[in-house]
Chain A
Amino acid sequence: MEQVLAVLIDGIIYSAWLFVAAIGLTLIYGVMKIVNVTHGSFYALGAYAAASITGALLAKGMPPALSYAVLLGSALLVTLIVAPLIERGILRFMYVKDEVVILLITYALFLILEDAIKLVWGVSPYFIAEPYGLLGSFDLLDLTYPYYNLILVGVAVLCGVGLTWMLNYTRTGKLLVAVIHDTEVSRAMGINVERMYLFTFTFGSLLAAIGGAFTAPTVSVVPGLGVEVIVLSFAVVVIGGLGSLPGAALGAVIVGLVRSASIHYLPQAELFVIYLVMAMVLAFRPRGLFSIAEARKI
């Protein structure tokens, strides 16, 4: 019983992290039809900005309780500088090109940003352990978990609920849904699609940066941080169906729970179990669990 509970808790914590990391990727694909590899870079940028800014402020005597706000602020700061620069400076000239070409362009940008991160922050690791341990821990049966893990779950729920609310109940969200369904008709109806693209890219990248920022206190922030994230995020959104918000949520929960169960009961299988699930889903649902039937355009 204790082990089943541990599987569930560990799975949910991992799912929450995966969901925050992947949700922006699926949003950007849904609206812009871009498989955005720079997503991993924004995760890393969020982590670096959070670790360096929070670390510097804590060293100057900032009360540790404020560090959670600084984590969020750091993600905002770095995204609002870099994301519009990339979208307005490079991507907007590429939308007319084939999806594969844009994929390669975002991959090239990912490599450039990886090196830019090294230029700015160097290769030495950054740590900010304070926010992780500050809230204390709770015991569940015989296991101890820091309360900070609940913050990660809370951030995931907030991101998911917030994005759903935004898409369904705000003017911007409704315009985005229109763009998701048909860009050309949206443009004909007077929607400023370019502005929607800028908003989507920035907002999607912000979600990745938030994921990185709130993960930073639990890991060593080192070069290459974004690589693992982008691979796992793709697995999640492919399982759920590219562009689907509920799909990303279900994909994250499936991957998180399967990985956790594997670690507890069959550790040897941990490495490939995520990709086994992905392969099985794709074998039966090639467009993912929440794919929507598309009308053929003539």
Chain B
Amino acid sequence: MNIIKKAIAAAVVAALVPAFAAAQEAPLKIGVVTFLSGPAAGPFGVPARNAAELTIEMLNGEKVPAPYATKGFGGAALQMQLVDEAGPATTQVTEFRNLVQRDNVDVVIGYISSGNCLAIAPVAEELKKLTVFFDCGTPRIFEDKSYKYVFRTSSTATMDSVGAALYVMDLKKGKVGSIAGVNQNYAWGQDSWSDFEASMKKLAPGVKVATSQMPKLFAGQFNAEISTILGAKADVVHSSFWNGDLEAFILQAGPRGLFKRSTVVLTTGETAMYKLADQIPDGVVLGARGPYGPYAPDNALNKWYTKTFTDRYNVPPNYAAYQMTQAILGTKAAWEKAQAANGGKRPSIDQVIAAFERLSFESPAGKVEMAIGAGHQAITETVYGMSKKVKGKMTVTNVKRYPATAVNPPDGVKAADWIAGGFKK
């Protein structure tokens, strides 16, 4: 009799365990890669890490407003494994392999440097690991190759450069005689300048390129470059500088009168606008790589995000923080769409990928559409404005918004061809 009772009990337990396990979803491990050291850590890496910590904590605590009110990804709690992005691309490839093969993360979200994204994408494909780039800008990733496992939830440098060109043309009422550039000598800087130059030549036929300076990344000293640009007397100066280089450029260019002599466009200027408010005069064109920071829309998700982030870290989120949160929320949206299609059960990575492709989701920065790169590359609207001090505080004025389709190429068309063809939709 006892044996029968034990057998029944064992059968009941065996029947209940899977149900219990399903209810208590095993946690998902997310590898988060961002700069924790080096010149990019302060303005980009650390705000992005803070955003990842905050977003994951809030998702696990079911404290994010709709449409992200459910726990973690599809009810499964999220565990973050943080990796420093500093160091050469070879180091990053090793770290990526460690995340995937040693630590068995389910998803990797990360990468600020375009060079690192270009190096990681083929490895992600080889290891068949869902990888979401949150910030890097080079359009080459999905233009030169197609990837199944790689997604990018922020727009490319093309959007920043085309948006900057449209903005200065609006600002100058179409009268731009000459342009100059100072950009870092690697994928991001080169792509940003070539797209801006090509856009300006299309929008203002006959425009002259006075000079194009390409200093080394993290060079820090730009006196000679500034002299060259001052001597060139260009109407518009374009720079996609970021990190410590952006801050050093502002510190060195201000006292030399560059901001007064030319209309200077800083496509990532938003990350420095509050810290260097005293050094940035009125009239400098500031970008935020999309509708982030001061350009973010006035919606419930953004109100929650800016308040929660500012309360926690005592500074408002900059665009790197927005982009990190956007990547996590985009992955959540894809995951839960796949889970719903899978009858509520945990989806396979192939199912998540299918759901991610061509996905449209909401972020604190508004609508994000995975519309190009065969559905793996996001497009968003972009926004530019000009610095203006109001009662000693830095604000933006003359803000102009450009819809996503006006500043991003259609799917399957390379940015350079799209610009050369006259921005046809």
Neighbour of A133 across the interface among B218, B223, B255, CB < 8 A: B255
Check if B254 sits within 8 Å of A133, measured CB to CB. yes
Would you call B231 and A263 a contact (CB within 8 A)?
no
The residue on B at minimum CB distance from A152 is B223
Name the contact of A271 in the complex, choosing from B216, B223, B225 (C-beta under 8 A).
B216
Look across to chain A and name the residue whose beta carbon is closest to the beta carbon of B37: A223
In the complex, whether B221 has a CB less than 8 A from a CB of chain A is: yes
Contact A14 B223 (CB under 8 A): yes
Q: Are A127 and B224 in contact (CB under 8 A)?
A: no
- Asked if B172 is at the interface (CB within 8 A of a chain A CB), the reply is no
In whole angstroms, how far apart are the Cα atoms of A297 and B215 in the complex?
A: 46
| B275 interface contact, C-beta 8 A | yes
Q: Is the Cβ of A123 less than 8 Å from the Cβ of B46?
A: yes
With an 8 A cutoff between CB atoms, is A286 at the interface? no
Check A263 against B251 for contact (C-beta < 8 Å).
no
Residue of B whose beta carbon sits closest to that of A114:
B37
Alpha-carbon distance between A125 and B41 when the two chains are bound, in angstroms? 9
Do A224 and B218 touch (CB < 8 A)? yes
- Complex: how many Å from CA A266 to CA B351? 52
Q: Are A146's CB and B255's CB within 8 A? A: yes
- The digit string for A125-169, where 1 denotes a CB below 8 A from any CB of B, is 101010011000100001111101100000000000000000000
Neighbouring A residues of B223 by C-beta, 8 Å: 10, 13-14, 149
B278 located at the interface, meaning its Cβ lies under 8 Å from any Cβ of chain A in the complex: yes
Q: Closest A residue to B278 by CB, please name it.
A: A129
Return A26 CB to nearest CB of chain B, in Å.
20
B41 to A, closest residue via Cβ: A123
Selected interface stretch from B56-64, B110-118, B206-214, B367-375: B206-214
A123-B46, A127-B275, A129-B279 are known contacts. Are A219 and B254 too (CB-CB below 8 A)?
Answer: no
Q: How far is the CA of A11 from the CA of B225 in the complex (A)?
A: 11
B3 within 8 A of A: no
Main secondary structure of the interface of A (DSSP, over half): helix
Assembled-state Cα–Cα distance A11/B254 (Å): 20
- B185 partner residues in chain A, CB cutoff 8 A: 270-271
Contacts of B279 in A (CB 8 A): 129
Q: Would B227 and A143 count as touching, CB distance under 8 A?
A: yes
Q: State the Cβ distance, B345 to closest chain A Cβ, in Å.
A: 42
Establish whether residues A10 and B43, one from each chain, have CB atoms under 8 Å apart when the complex forms.
no
Cβ-defined contact, A123 with B214, below 8 A? no
Given contacts A228-B220, A271-B185, contact A222 B257 (CB under 8 A): no
* Residues on the A chain within 8 Å of B254, using CB: 129, 133
Q: Is the CB of B227 within 8 A of A219?
A: no
Known: A127-B247, A220-B251, A259-B224. A267 touches B211 (CB 8 A): yes
Cα distance, A6 to B248, chains bound together (Å): 20
> Which A residues are in CB contact (< 8 Å) with B255?
132-133, 137, 144, 146, 148
Report how far A82 CA is from B247 CA in the complex, Å.
28
Shortest B113–chain A CB gap in Å is 13
Whether A170 sits at the interface, judged by CB under 8 Å, is no
Q: Is B228 an interface residue (CB 8 A)?
A: yes
The reply to whether the CB of B230 lies closer than 8 angstroms to some CB of chain A is: yes
Q: Which of A223, A225, A259 has the most CB of B within 10 A?
A: A223
Contacts of A271 in B (CB 8 A): 185, 214, 216
Question: CA separation between A212 and B275, bound complex, in Å?
Answer: 21
Given that A260-B224, A271-B216 are known contacts, is A124 also in contact with B256, CB under 8 Å in the complex? no
- Total interface residues on A, CB under 8 Å, equals 45
Q: Are B224 and A220 in contact (CB under 8 A)?
A: no
Other-chain residue from B36, B42, B224, B227 in contact with A222 (beta carbon distance below 8 A): B42
Q: Are B41 and A219 touching (Cβ within 8 A)?
A: no
CB contacts under 8 Å to B, within A203-238, are 217-220, 222-225, 227-228
Does B39 contact A142, Cβ atoms closer than 8 Å?
A: no
Interface centre among B42, B211, B225, B246 (most CB of A within 10 A): B42
For window 12-51 of chain B, which residues contact chain A by CB distance below 8 Å? 36-39, 41-43, 45-46
Q: Is the CB of B227 within 8 A of A220?
A: no
A267 to B13, CA, bound (A): 74
Task: List residues 261-278 of chain B with CB under 8 A from any CB of chain A.
Answer: 275-276, 278
- Please, which residue of chain B has its CB at the minimum distance from the CB of A217? B251
**A260 partner residues in chain B, CB cutoff 8 A:** 224
List residues of chain B with CB within 8 A of the CB of A263. 213, 215, 224-225, 228
Task: Choose among A146, A218, A267 the residue that contacts B248 (Cβ–Cβ < 8 A).
Answer: A218
Residues of B within 8 A of A217 (CB): 251
**Do residues B39 and A223 form an inter-chain contact, with CB atoms below 8 A?**
yes
Q: Which of A123, A148, A270 touches B36 (beta carbons < 8 Å)?
A: A123
Shortest CB–CB separation between residue B237 and chain A, in angstroms? 14
Chain A residue nearest in CB terms to B315: A124
**What is the interface of chain B, defined by CB distance below 8 A to chain A?**
36-39, 41-43, 45-46, 86, 185, 211-216, 218-221, 223-225, 227-228, 230-231, 233, 243-248, 251-252, 254-257, 275-276, 278-279
Q: Footprint of B on A, CB under 8 Å?
A: 2-3, 6-7, 9-11, 13-14, 17, 114, 118, 123-125, 127, 129, 132-133, 137, 142-146, 148-149, 217-220, 222-225, 227-228, 259-260, 263-264, 267-268, 270-271
Given contacts A10-B227, A132-B251, A224-B38, 20 further A-B contacts (CB under 8 A): A118-B37, A129-B254, A137-B257, A143-B256, A144-B230, A144-B257, A146-B255, A149-B223, A219-B244, A220-B39, A220-B251, A222-B41, A222-B244, A223-B41, A224-B86, A225-B244, A228-B218, A263-B215, A264-B227, A270-B215
